[in-house]
Amino acid sequence: MKTKDFLEEATKLASGQRQIDYGDKTENHKNIARLWSAYLEYTITPHDVAILMCLLKVARTKLGAISKDTYMDMSAYSAIAGEIKFNEPKKESEGERRGRETAEHIKSLNKNDR
């Protein structure tokens, strides 16, 4: 198999029958994250779930028989992780927050001066 073949199959896995069988992949990873977080008493994000599932597949390459499915699944989980990460709302950095709050404060002072 060539790289293109693995990626095409991974695309089918992430968007095809599995999506029909298990529902939206992002919602599914959110649900898994909530369950794992409750069990571990530590916050796990949907992105973490996809990365951890990819690592599970990496671990499988160390033991047992070599399987094309393992590599296709790794590709699919990696792509899902990317989709989740780049569709997350952008988090405001500390510097951005301070800048926004300062600008809002100055604006409120200017309103009071009128």
pLDDT value for 28 = 92
All residues at 6 or more sequence positions from 87 whose CB lies less than 8 Å from its CB, including other chains: 26
CA distance 73 to 99: 43
Cα angle 62, 34, 95; round to 5: 95
Of 8, 14, 4, residue with least CA distance to 80: 14
Our count of domains for the chain comes to: 1
Tokens of 104: 């809002």
Which residues constitute the domain of residue 25?
3-112
Mean pLDDT of 4-28: 84
pLDDT value for 3 = 87
Query: Which tens digit of pLDDT belongs to each residue from 27-43?
Result: 999 999 999 999 999 99
